[in-house]
Structure 1
Amino acid sequence: MDDETADPRPGTVYLVGSGPGDPDLLTVKAKRLLETADVVLHDKLPGPEIIETLPEDRREDVGKRAGGERTPQSEINERLVELAREGKSVVRLKGGDSFVFGRGGEEAEYLAAREVPFEVVPAVTSAIAAPAVAGIPVTHRDHASSVSFVTGHEDPTKEESAVDWEALAATGGTIVVLMGVGRLPDYTEALLEAGMAPETPVALVERGTWPGQQVATSTLETIVDARDEEGIEPPAVTVIGEVAGTRERVLEFLANESDRATERAEPTASDEV
């Protein structure tokens, strides 16, 4: 078979995490791949400012929404293989890190089984970044020496939850729940029933690093009411544990620092002379 009739070499699929959504928090490699890829298949969570930078003729929206899939995962898998076998460079763009509750692992297995070249491009997961920009560390020497990451949106075909809330309540560390706004009443009740203190601090960070970021703080017993009062909606990260209580001290310092900066900028009597 000569070169003209030979099948083209398959392109490469890049499983890219976009980070929490702020374009400035893209990795250098992710940015380069987005600029050079033949096509980008993106979810809803990479952040609007990132998606808007992609030329319309090089992007495909394969995102999902809570309550139902817009594009079935099976179709996404098949599309990745189809494009790669056409010899294209393909970016599969996901919010956060694609291997943290992002189904990137499933897509990697699918590509590997079909011998399609792929590369994983890690990113900062929103499980860490969203709390951080809200002034909340997920670990702290005084409050938490461990952190558990939990999905609030398990596979709906499971007969029962794989999350052991009783065990999590007993760990004493931080619990970070992704995609869990809708099920907030369920798992906060489960933690209370497991013996976690009702006054345990809790924070909800909606659209962390995005335009329109919102934060609601309360306790394990009252966070559902705070969610409703503040109108917190997906996508949001839930932080449960003593670390959530540090936010107020951080904000107080930042507010005082802002006041001091304003005072330094105000003209004095000698300045006006």
Structure 2
Amino acid sequence: MHAVAIVGAGPGDPELLTIKASRLIEKADVILHDNLVSNTILSINTTGEKIYVGRKFGDASDQIERQQKINELLFSYHSQGKKVVRLKSGDPYVYGRAAEEARYLKEKNVPFEVIPGISAALAAANIFNIPVTERNKSNAMLICTAHTADYSFEQLNGIAHMLKAGNTISIYMGLKSLHRIIPKLLEVCDDDTIPVNAASNVSRADQGIITGTLGNIEEQIKNSTIQMPVVLIIGANPIL
């Protein structure tokens, strides 16, 4: 039987797919896809069944039940001998919940492979010329989510101290949590000139970016029409 393919669709532009990802998508009998996978990527496959299993911001569905349903669908379609692709935006193992699906398939003795995709922060860094690591400026980048705002004091404090030490921070799904994250970063870093970049719909036709500082980014975003999904890159200036 074919191995289930857990595929990273990247940020949305089909030209940023790996060759392997593109081939697996094209040949799939069944594609279970997330909310942020672009229509242009889905259209690579013209014959297979496409099943939406995603979750949007604000959805009230039970995440555990939803994930269990996805797991069962993967197993069921594989058992029917179909070529199954589980298509995730970005990279499967960067906030893509691929671990839960991989463990389930492992328990069921279902062969699977995971195909990497370009994660939003890295795509944004390259598209908007933001060097997230640079000699004598930053030697590390930390990737975290908006749930940072709900972390323990020690965790959020540690993230802020990484920024203070000169490292770059990228925050996924952080647009609605800026009012909690920014004050902590300012408290620890005591520098309102640290650059903040808010990149929206990275790699798509309607992509955009707002560049500001810890001191003014909240006001800039408030006065903008920036659309989710947004990834924040803090601590590095774009090369303009």
Is 1:32 aligned with 2:26?
Answer: no
| Matched-pair contact (CA < 8 Å) for 1:139–1:174 | yes
Q: CA deviation at 1:57?
A: 4.9
Identity across matched positions, percent: 38
Structure 1 segment 32-111 matched on structure 2, within 5 A:
32-55=23-46, 57-68=48-59, 72-111=66-105
Counterpart for residue 18 of structure 1 = 9
SS of the residue 1:205 aligns to: strand
Q: What letter is aligned with 2:193?
A: E
2:173 and 2:53 map into 1 onto residues whose CA distance is 18
- Structure 1 stretches lacking a partner, 5+ long: 1-9, 155-159, 252-273
1:153 and 1:104 map into 2 onto residues whose CA distance is 18
SS of the residue 1:64 aligns to: coil
| Matched-pair contact (CA < 8 Å) for 2:13–2:40 | yes
Counterpart for residue 161 of structure 1 = 151
Structure 1 segment 1-273 matched on structure 2, within 5 A:
10-55=1-46, 57-68=48-59, 72-153=66-147, 161=151, 164-171=155-162, 172=165, 173-241=167-235, 243=236, 245=237, 247=238, 250-251=239-240
C-alpha distance 117-69 of structure 1, shift in aligned 2 (>3 A):
farther
C-alpha distance 69-14 of structure 1, shift in aligned 2 (>3 A):
farther
Higher-Rg structure is: 1
| Matched-pair contact (CA < 8 Å) for 2:31–2:48 | no
Counterpart for residue 266 of structure 1 = none
Q: CA deviation at 1:134?
A: 1.1
C-alpha distance 45-128 of structure 1, shift in aligned 2 (>3 A):
same
The structure with higher relative contact order (CA 8 Å, sep 6+) is 2
Q: CA deviation at 1:106?
A: 1.2
Cα-Cα RMSD: 1.9
| Matched-pair contact (CA < 8 Å) for 2:22–2:44 | no
SS of the residue 1:230 aligns to: coil
Give a deviation string over 1:55-107, Cα, whole Å, max 9, x none: 37521111110112668222111111111111111000111110011101111
- Structure 2 stretches lacking a partner, 5+ long: none
Q: What letter is aligned with 2:159?
A: L
TM-score by length of 2: 0.90
Q: How many residues align?
A: 232
2:42 and 2:174 map into 1 onto residues whose CA distance is 24
1:217 and 1:81 map into 2 onto residues whose CA distance is 44
